[in-house]
Structure 1
Amino acid sequence: MEEKNKSIGKAVNRIDGILKITGKATYATDYPIKNMAFAVIFKSTIASGTIVNLDTTSAEQANGVLAVITHKNAPKLNEKGGIRGGALLQSPEILFYGQHIGVVVAETFEQARHAAHLIKVDYQKKEGKTDFEKLATSAGAPKGKELADLIRGDALGMLDTSAVKLEEVYETPIEHHHPMEPHSTIAVWEGDKVVLYNGSQIINGAQAAAAETLNLKPEQVRIVSPFIGGGFGSKGGQWANLILTAVAAKVVSRPVKLALTRQQMFNSVGLRQQNIQRIILGASKDGKLISLVHQTTTQTAIDSEFLEPCGDCSKVMYEVPNALISYKVAPMHMMLPTYTRGPGKSTGSFALESAMDELAYKLQMDPIELRIKNEPQKDPSNGKPWSSRKTVECLKEGAKAFGWANRKVVPGSNRVGDVLIGYGVACGTYPARQRDSSAVIKLTKSGENVFAIVEIAASDLGTGTNTILAQTAADGLGIPLVHVTVKLGDSDLPPAAGSVGSVGAASFANAVNDACTKITDELLARSAKQFFIRPTAYQLMVSENIKNYQTRVDAKAPKEAEQYSAHSFNANFAEVRVNALTGMVKVTRFLAVTSAGKILNPKTARSQIIGGNVWGIGMALSEESVMDPRWGNFATRSFGDYHVPANLDVGKLDAIFINEEDKIPNKMGVKGIGEVGIVGVAAAIANAIFNATGKRIRKLPITPDKLI
């Protein structure tokens, strides 16, 4: 295919865009299933204890009610089946406030909701562990070996040899995911098989977890999830609401729909935990890092452990011969935390990149100069060579595009009336990986046209997966983009990796690209002709008059990929304006410069980056879930008090991609951008606020009361 006709690398509109803007895209609860009943979950109102009495009589007698399911009558489930957070109605024990304790199923949603309010519950309360500030002082080592201390050299001992030393504590609060589409499911039993219409970031993972928990075989469970209205990690693992929908449908012998309310989202599907991070940096007078200590204290559920790897950026971002990365965790009566966009890296980079800015100020160095001075030539954490690393290019190109030279060095010196103006910079990174994925391509010739159907059990969170796979197939087969149909989001399709951890684009696109290569090879072998120029699959289908042909490929990352350290990198630049009288902060400009290998579609890629930047703005300035330690419940329970940035909160956003060819991680040279878009953003804003005001805020979010 001629270069001018190529699809990859072009800013193609989303092929599913019309479906979405016309309301025809089918999300989890959009399927018009006949004879559907409605389920509503009711929850505990204590954080720790036991249910001693559960009176469901009034609810069961209410109009339209079909069933009330509690631990007294719920079927036996496999609690080790992979469903996160427990709450499967298998026991009267209460482990966190808001734990599911029952499900009401009725003819209508309104009837189910009304009946749920009629249920009376008596508890035997126990003293709960709900105050993180008190528990943090006695936090212990995590159980998981993957977060064992990383020790390189003598980080604490070498601090005494450092000419300049910085020691500070940075805090990030609990955050919630809050996708536009709350978690919801429709369950339809067909004999001994169940179809679950459900938003799932990992289609086959949801299938396996549902099957094992329901004591079924994987082939007895089908997950259907062609469209997802956001997930940000919360739909990566599956939660009890998925299984309880299936249970409810089985109990009433008809399809059931269960959708969590916005308030229920706060204690049903995970969260980003609160982190206290102690950073110690030691450096020479000329800015060379000698020692780095990054110690994280965090929280987890009382019965299960999850920790954000906040020290990950500290492992790889800078050349430092002596490092200590460690973790402590406090079990609490709270919802199990889970992966949240840029897990560990977004929160950890706030601490690391704020500390680097503080060190630069102490050294009287430009923050960009300090970062470049400590650029590592290989991965400091494991000694592997980089597959590629263009952090310096990101910093230099960003500085030019942003106008970094106009930054006032003295904090608080750039003032216009009551407005203080500041510039900040911070870097970020996220691993680049390809995961095993399979794809089927089906070709059909009609006249002189060839049409392709691509089948893969991938998921599209709203990031543009449909579009980039169509672009990949169009180029790989030599046919127009409009002749490609993409089928994904269904566990009946060939298995694939999930849309998590920035592995989606690399895994799915390489599987489709490999399938295009394979089908062309097979058609070429079938032709028994010799060609001087390799023909396309399209040309072979036409020249050989083949009506239908299909193939399947099971794609894996190149073996040599493990010998290198592969990452996406970025540099973030923020301009803020702070009202000196009110403390109100506005991010007036934000520029993200990213090196992420081959960019399949600049338009959808830019959307990914600026989406991460917007969340980073919220992380820096407004987002915080506040737990009341007296009860263990959240005082913030809606968008009225959990503040997500709106259009007026966000200034001008720009995204630049550095040209980068890196085919070591995968054949196409694709690296993920979904996660890295948020990494370093909060630190860049915090650093800009310091430059504007001279006030260093180390506890997020940076609200006006902290600046006045």
Structure 2
Amino acid sequence: MEEKNKMVGMPVSRIDGILKVTGKADYSVDHPVTNVAHAMIFKSTIAAGKIRDIDTAAAEKAPGVLAVITHKNAPKLNEKGGIRGGAMLQSPVIEFYGQHIGLVVAETFEQARHAARLIKVDYEEASPRTHFEKLSKEAVTPKDKERADVKRGDVKAALANAEYKVEEVYETPMEHHHPMEPHATIAEWKGDHVTLYNSAQIVSGAQNAAASTLNLKPEQVRIVSPYLGGGFGSKGGQWANLVLTAVAAKMVNRPVQLALTRHQMFNSVGLRQRNHQKVSLAATKDGKLTALAHETTTHCAIDNEFVEPCGDCSKVMYEVPNSLISYRVVPMHIILPTYTRGPGKSTGSFALESAMDELAYKLKMDPIEFRIKNEPERDPTSGKPWSSRTTVQCLQEGAKAFGWEKRKPEPRQNQQGNYLIGYGVACGTYPAHQRPSSALVKLDRKGNEVTATVELAAADLGTGTYTILAQTAADALGLPMNRITVKIGDSDLPPAAGSVGSVGATSYANVVNDACIKITDELMAKSGKQFFTRPTAAQLMLSEKVTEFQTRADSKELEGADEYSSHSFNANFAEVRVDMYTGMVRVDRFLAVTGAGKILNPKTANSQVIGGVAWGIGMALSEESVVDPRWGNFVTRSLADYHVPSNLDIGTMEAIFIREEDKHSNRLGIKGLGEVGIVGVSAAVANAVFNATGKRIRELPITPDKLI
């Protein structure tokens, strides 16, 4: 295609949009499977101990009930098969409040729910470890070697001799994912093969985990996941509900559907853990950083470890000769934490970027100037050159677009009626990687019309994967987008990376582009002709009168890519309005400026960033999962208690993308946006609140009681 007709880089509307708004897109429980029974999980009402006995007699006699499954009659599963969080009915031991302890299968959802309420459980209770403040004193070094202490220079001496320093503790609470589509599965067996219609951010990962746990071969398990109603990391790994649905279907010998309720989401599919982060910064009077220590204390499950990397931003954001990144973790009777959007970076950036703002204020320096002064030429931890880095450009372009010059350096200097107005800035980063993926491209000619089908086991979280792959294939094949069909979300297709960790767009688009180049090369070779101008695959299908042709490509990270440090970077600007009398905070304006390599589709990219900003504002002002330490249960059990931002909570939001060419990270120079969009957002809001009020809030969320 001529450059002027290129589709990549154009703000194309989602090709699957009509299917979604008309209800024709099949999510997990929408697939047309006949004779489906319904399952309902029932859960423990203690956090620690074991089950003495379960009385299921009344439930088994209830109308419509087909089976009641507990640890007494559940089949033996491989608990090391890759399913996260345990809770697979393999033992009477209870390790957290809300652990799955049984499953009722009935003709209807209502019958299953009713029968689950008839079950009586006799427990032998133990004292639960659920009080984080008390237990944090027992925290130990994580087993995971990736969370070992990382030291450079002598932080202790640098802090002791510092001219200016900040040493503060920043707290981020537990959060939950809450995608619009809760986790749900339909399981259908045919002989010893099972099809699982299920939301999966990593299709092949779900297939392998389910197969291993069910003691099957991967080819005996098919995952079908064409559409996901969000996931934010909770659908990256798979949880017990997936395999329990398969177990139930096998036991009743018919398809079974299991959909978690919103209440059950709180203790079924992980969470973002609570983090106690001590950040110590030191600088000379002219603003050069001399020391940075980022020490995180957090929690994990009683029998399994997960520690999100809160210190990752502190490793790479600023040039500092003396640094320490450390983690300490305490096991608790709480469900296993897991990846949550911007894992570690969104929480860690709140601590780091708040501390940077505090130190800039002490130095009487503009916080943008302070950050630019400490810009590293290379990755401070690895010493590798950047594949590209846009932090300074993001800050400078953002300052101009936002009107940063109107900011008053001293707090409480900008008042409008009953409101105090404040400006805040914060930066963020997220690593960029390409993961191994495969794709199949099929070309078909009927008369003078050539069409293409692109197939790979990719995932679309709702972020526009279908569309960007159609755009990529259209350009690479020389076809209009309406002649491209994209098939993804099925483990029967060539394996691909997951839609996690901002690797989806990079991995999928590169392998599709590689497959299109390969099929063009193969058609040229097949023709036996020499071409002075490289033809497109579509032109070759016509000129050589080929009716059908296909090829597969297998792609991985570019050779030499690991010699560079590759990241997306951003700068976030917030304007807040704080009511002087009620302490209510509103974000009136927010600007996110991002450098993320080639932007495949500005329209879907803008949506990605706006979504990340909305969650970051929720993280800053309202989102918090609260545990009652006496029992270990969540007192926030629904969206009435767990407050996510609504349209009325969000002011004007704008996203700007820096034009960036990165030739080192991957062939197309893509870096990913899904994660970095939330990183630094909560810190920008918190810094703006300080600028407005003069009160530094170091514990999220920033609720009115903390400001009055």
Does the TM-score normalized on the shorter chain lie above 0.5?
A: yes
Q: TM-score, normalised by structure 2?
A: 1.00
> How far 1:393 sits from its partner (Å)?
0.3
Counterpart residue number, 2:270: 270
Please give the alpha-carbon distance, in whole angstroms, between the structure 2 residues aligned to 1:35 and 1:415. Answer: 64
- Which residue of structure 2 lines up, in the alignment, with residue 87 of structure 1? 87
Question: 2:260: which partner in 1?
Answer: 260
Partner deviation per Cα, 1:621-673 (whole Å, 9 max, x = no partner): 00000000000000000000100000000000000000000021100000010
- 1:142-221, aligned counterparts within 5 Å? 142-221=142-221
Q: Deviations over 1:56-105 (max 9, x none)?
A: 00000000000000000000000000000000000000000000000000
2:657 equivalent in structure 1 = 657
2:502 maps to 1:502: yes
Cα distance in 2 between the residues matched to 1:121 and 1:30 = 34
- Deviation of the 1:559 alpha carbon: 1.4
Residue by residue over 1:674-705, the C-alpha shift from the partner in whole angstroms, topping out at 9 and shown as x without a partner, is 00000000000000000000000000000001
What residue in structure 1 maps to residue 674 of structure 2? 674
Whole-angstrom CA distance in 2 between matches of 1:205 and 1:168: 40
Task: Give the whole-Å Cα distance in 2 for the aligned partners of 1:384 and 1:198.
Answer: 40
Distance 2:684 2:36 in 1: 49
Structure 1 contact 394–595 (Cα < 8 Å) conserved: yes
Matches within 5 A, 1:495-574: 495-574=495-574
Report SS of the residue matched to 2:676. Answer: coil
1:340 paired residue number: 340
- Residues matched between the structures, number: 708
- Following TM superposition, by how much is the alpha carbon of 1:531 offset from its aligned partner in structure 2, in angstroms? 1.0
CA distance in 2, matches of 1:105, 1:629: 33
8 Å CA contact 1:68–1:104 kept in 2: the answer is yes
CA distance in 2 between counterparts of 1:526 and 1:46 reads 68
Shift of 1:53: 1.0
CA displacement at 1:450 relative to structure 2: 0.9
Partner of residue 408, structure 1: 408
**Secondary structure at 1:557's aligned position in 2?**
coil
Distance in 2 (alpha carbons) for counterparts of 1:448 and 1:10: 27
Matched residue, 2:633: 633
1:213-252 correspondence runs (5 A):
213-252=213-252
User: Aligned partners of 2:281, 2:36: CA distance in 1, in Å?
Assistant: 60
CA deviations 1:436-489 (Å, max 9, x no partner) are 000000000122221000000000000000000000000000000000000000
Aligned ranges for residues 45-64 of structure 1 at < 5 Å?
A: 45-64=45-64
CA distance in 2, matches of 1:416, 1:509: 48
Q: Counterpart of 1:317 in structure 2: which amino acid? A: M
Inter-partner Cα distance in structure 1 for 2:664 and 2:448? 38
Query: After superposition, what is the alpha-carbon deviation per residue over 1:597-618, rounded to whole angstroms, capped at 9, x for unaligned?
Result: 0000000000000000000000
- Tell me the distance in 1 between the aligned counterparts of 2:383 and 2:32: 55
Q: Distance in 2 between matches of 1:128 and 1:416?
A: 50
What is the one-letter code of the residue matched to 2:208? A
1:111 aligns with 2:102: no
> Residue type of the partner of 2:487?
K
Superposition map of 1:12-91 within 5 A:
12-91=12-91
- Normalising by the residue count of structure 1, what TM-score does the alignment of the two structures yield? 1.00
- Counterpart position of 2:137: 137
1:667 counterpart letter in structure 2: R
> Cα offset for 1:32?
2.2
SS in 1 for 2:562: helix
8 Å CA contact 1:165–1:281 kept in 2: the answer is yes
Could you tell me how far apart the structure 2 residues matched to 1:140 and 1:557 are? 36
Q: In structure 2, what residue type is equivalent to 1:305?
A: E
Where does residue 321 of structure 1 map in the other structure? 321
Return the alpha-carbon distance in structure 2 between the equivalents of residues 84 and 453 of structure 1: 35
Distance 2:432 2:143 in 1: 27
Q: Matches of 2:256 and 2:32 in 1, distance apart?
A: 11
Whether the aligned pair in 2 keeps the contact of 1:469 and 1:512 (CA below 8 Å) is yes
Output the CA distance in 2 between the equivalents of 1:583 and 1:558. 52
Instruction: Kindly provide the CA deviation profile for residues 512-558 of structure 1, in whole angstroms up to 9, marking residues without a partner as x.
Output: 00000000000001111111110000111110010000000000111
Partners of 1:415 and 1:96 lie apart in 2 by 48
What is the CA distance between 1:156 and its match in structure 2? 1.3
1:358 aligns with 358
Q: Aligned equivalents of 1:530 and 1:251: distance in 2? A: 62
Matched, 1:479 2:479: yes
The one-letter code sitting in structure 2 at the alignment partner of 1:443 is L
Consecutive unaligned residues of structure 2, counting only runs of 5 or more, are none
Letter in 1 for 2:376: P
Q: What 5-or-longer segments of structure 1 have no aligned partner?
A: none
State the alpha-carbon separation in 2 of the partners of residues 63 and 357 from structure 1. 62
Three-state SS of the structure 2 residue aligned to 1:348 is helix
Query: Does the 8 Å contact 1:570/1:676 carry over to 2?
Result: yes
Q: Alpha-carbon deviation of 1:409?
A: 1.1
Read off the aligned partner of 1:218 and give its amino acid letter.
P
The answer to whether residue 430 in structure 2 is matched with residue 425 in structure 1 is no
Aligned to 1:647: 647
Secondary structure at the residue paired with 1:170? Answer: strand
Kindly indicate whether the alpha-carbon contact (under 8 Å) linking 1:48 and 1:95 is maintained by their aligned counterparts in 2: yes
Post-superposition CA distance 1:311-360 (Å, at most 9, x none) = 00000000001000000001000100000000000000000000000000
Secondary structure of the structure 1 residue equivalent to 2:678: coil
Give yes or no for contact 1:225–1:489 (8 Å, CA) kept in 2: yes
Aligned partner of residue 559 in structure 1, secondary structure: coil
Tell me the distance in 2 between the aligned counterparts of 1:156 and 1:498. 41
Which deviations, in whole Å up to 9, do the C-alpha atoms of 1:118-151 show, x marking residues without a partner? 0000000001101001001121111110110000
Note the 1:289-308 alignment, pairs <5 A.
289-308=289-308
**Are 1:156 and 1:293, in contact at CA under 8 Å, matched by a contact in 2?**
no
Distance 1:549 1:377 in 2: 48
- Is the 1:609–1:678 contact (alpha carbons within 8 Å) kept by the matching residues of 2? yes
Contact 1:139 1:297 in 2 (8 A): yes
Between 442-451 and 697-706, the greater mean CA deviation after superposition? 442-451
Alpha carbons 1:38, 1:106 under 8 Å: kept: yes
Residue identity in the other structure for 1:599: I
Distance 2:553 2:296 in 1: 43
Partner Cα separation in structure 2 for residue 659 and residue 66 of structure 1 = 59
| Mapped partners of 1:167, 1:464: distance in 2 | 42
What is the distance in 2 between the residues matched to 1:160 and 1:304? 38
Q: Percent identity?
A: 73
- Residue 376 of structure 1: CA displacement? 0.1
- Give SS of 2:565's match: coil
The structural deviation recorded for 1:293 is 0.5
Give 1:420-459 correspondences, 5 Å limit. 420-459=420-459
In the alignment, is residue 282 of structure 1 matched against residue 282 of structure 2? yes
- The residue type equivalent to 2:168 in the other structure is E
* Counterparts of 1:390 and 1:239, CA distance in 2: 38
Q: Name the structure 2 match of 1:101.
A: 101
Aligned counterpart, 2:5: 5
CA distance in 1, matches of 2:387, 2:349: 22
The one-letter code matched in structure 2 to 1:434 is Q
Matched position secondary structure for 1:425: strand
Following the alignment from structure 2 to structure 1, what is the Cα–Cα distance between the partners of residues 331 and 703? 28
CA RMSD of aligned residues (A): 0.4
Using the TM superposition, give the Cα deviation of residue 160 of structure 1 relative to its aligned residue in structure 2, in angstroms. Answer: 2.1
Question: Could you tell me which residue of structure 1 aligns to residue 605 of structure 2?
Answer: 605
Which range moved further: 609-618 or 136-145? 136-145
CA distance in 2, matches of 1:539, 1:53: 71
Aligned partner letter, 1:489: G
Structure 1: which 4+ aligned runs deviate by more than 4 Å?
A: none
Cα distance in 2 for partners of 1:93, 1:126 equals 10
Distance 2:128 2:159 in 1: 40
